[in-house]
A and B are shown apart, each in its own frame.
Chain A
Amino acid sequence: MTKALDVRGLTTRFETRSGDVTAVNNVSFSVERGRIMGLVGESGSGKSVTGFSILGLVEEPGHISGGEVLVEGQDLRALKPEALRKLRGSKVAMVFQDPMMTLNPVLRIGDQMAMAVRVHENMSKRAAWERAREALEIVGIPAAGERLKAYPHQLSGGMRQRVAIATALLHRPAVIIADEPTTALDVSIQSQILAEVRRLADETGTAIVWVTHDLAVISSLADDICVMYAGRIVERGTAEDVIAAPRHPYTVGLIGSVPSLHEPGAHLPQIPGSTPQLANLPSGCPFRPRCPRASDLCATEPPLIETGSHSVSCHRPMEAP
């Protein structure tokens, strides 16, 4: 069976006055139907740019300089702009981080959603509103008919994020990219939404790329995990493998700094050093200046080491169990 999403060697560069930056560097991963893949990394590691690159929505001064994005086997990068636009929202959808900003403040929820319905399907306004209402019910919004008539400012943050998710679901896309959609919400609403998303993935078969910098969230939600550092995927595997037996020193550091993944009462180690400047990365492994295991060898490009479905890009990874 073809994978819902297959990204191969995706590379996105920004040409700025202060130098060229490769925000997404030769990124490859795939997600199967009904599965949730967590994309984890520090702020600035290129997670959002990866998401926008998949949809072909990178804005100036950025451009996608290489790679393939296959959605159900179809290469989005080979499509003409107009054909690609028609797939956005219908085959690949995206949800953003800040629910306060993603909805247009001066349009009613129903009008915004109906617009999203009618752009891909020829139907009357009434039918589109009906469709929007159903979508709101699917994500667990009570009194959906009433909500459609509301303006965004009349809804809470959690409610708005559900509206955004419902909008992404309207056309039953093969893939949804969720860019930190719960970061701005408080914990109880966050876990409610996570539960809904899990259920949706199982029921609809939609593949989900869940972007976050919060490893705790991802460890309970995701089936697979990709760890991103300075624009590259440094480790990739099933959630159990990556959490229980991390192999990249960066992943080890990340897991070490999450309280719930750690022995209670123990000292929480932080990863030393600061997030890298993409404009001037060291040669070889970008993690080198902060890596406790670094050696001279690391000044050269690290190899990709694969053991089964678990792969890591490192000269001296932790031992496989």
Chain B
Amino acid sequence: MLGFLVQRLLQAVVVIFAMSIIVFLGVYAIGNPIDVMIDPGATQAIRQKLIEQYGLDQPLWQQYWTFLSNVVHGDLGTSMVYNVSVIKLVFSRLPATVELVFVAVMIATLIGIPAGIYAGYRPNSLLARAIMALSVLGFSVPTFWIGMLLVMAFAVNLGWLPSGGRGDVSSFLGLRTSLATVDGWRHVIMPAFNLSLFMMGLLIRLTRAGMVEAMQTDYVKFARAQGLPDRQIVFSHVLRNISIPIVTVFGLELGSTLAFAVVTESVFNWPGIGKLIIDSILQLDRPVMVTYLILVVILFVLINLVVDIVYAQLDPRVRLKGGK
């Protein structure tokens, strides 16, 4: 287990390093940010000064080297648009996104898995068919459009919920979060629900497929022959088995939900990093893009690591080993 962890962490460092090069090169291949930043009427001298200030006249490898040594010192550069430290900028927006994604994942799990279990347990029932039809909508209809409908219905027409933005923030167990206030929940619930739909649809399908298959297995029949009630068979025998693929997809979808927060944050005007990245793409704010992407890569690597560990806990046939 320890060997496995060390090996995986080393791998993670390599992946993150490699990604940082790719991201850096990719992002820097985009047009000249100076053109976007300064007013077209500015003098050549001002222009030159800015280029030098951002080190844009250096060769690419040198820019990367400067970037890397700055990163080692905990400095990811300065936003070209907001003119503040990127780290500060990203971390000021991160809590809002984490909040949103957290609530969305909770909704997806708490609705998706029970619905999938039911649909798989009684696959021919009317309710199960309805659940499956809705799940198709959940992951085929584009998120932003559903989000828009939600705003139209609950904010514009009914006026029950605010149409966008994050609510009041207050402290809870030392954390500054909007989830500690009623206003915060009023703001988060609609975007979080919107964001949860894709993952919910997927979890429903996956859980149902696992249930249907598991209910046909011999070990379920054997458990029935022992007189175990169905409730116990589902919760003690089957869930444990189908949780293995669910955990895998859950991990992948966590990353995907984080990525899709970009869309939901734009629809609901949610002040998180998703909105930040869209703005920085539109304004060619390179340091922000680089930081965001590296952050996402780190999160992905971490999520995958956690998934592998949980996986091994759930499936006794899998053993975590360092090396081959």
A residues near B, CB below 8 A? 55, 57, 85-90, 93-94, 96, 98, 101-108, 115-116, 119-120, 151, 153, 164, 167-168
Contact = CB atoms under 8 A, between A and B. Distances in A.
A151 B317 contact: yes
Contact of A55 (B225, B314, B315): B225
B232 to A, nearest CB: 7
B237 A89 contact: no
Residues of B contacting A: mostly: helix
Interface of B: 217-219, 221-229, 232, 236-237, 240-241, 244, 314-317
B226 A119 contact: yes
A57 B221 contact: yes
A167 B315 CA distance: 23
Contacts of B228: 89, 115-116, 119
Given A85-B227, A85-B229, A88-B227, A103 B222 contact: yes
A292 B222 CA distance: 41
Contact of A102 (B222, B232, B314, B317): B222
Contacts of B225: 55, 57, 88-89, 93-94, 168
Contact of A96 (B221, B240, B241, B314): B221
7 pairs of A and B residues whose beta carbons are closest in the complex:
A89-B227, A88-B227, A101-B218, A89-B226, A94-B225, A151-B316, A116-B226
B317 A153 contact: yes
Given A119-B229, A151-B317, A153-B317, A104 B219 contact: yes
B51 to A, nearest CB: 61
A297 B76 CA distance: 96
Given A88-B225, A105-B316, A168-B226, 10 more contacts: A55-B225, A57-B225, A98-B218, A104-B241, A105-B317, A115-B226, A115-B232, A119-B232, A153-B317, A167-B226
Contacts of B232: 115, 119
A196 B52 CA distance: 88
A87 B227 CA distance: 7
A101 B237 CA distance: 13
B106 to A, nearest CB: 25
B33 to A, nearest CB: 53
Nearest to B239: A106
B226 A106 contact: no
A174 to B, nearest CB: 14
Contacts of A105: 219, 241, 315-317
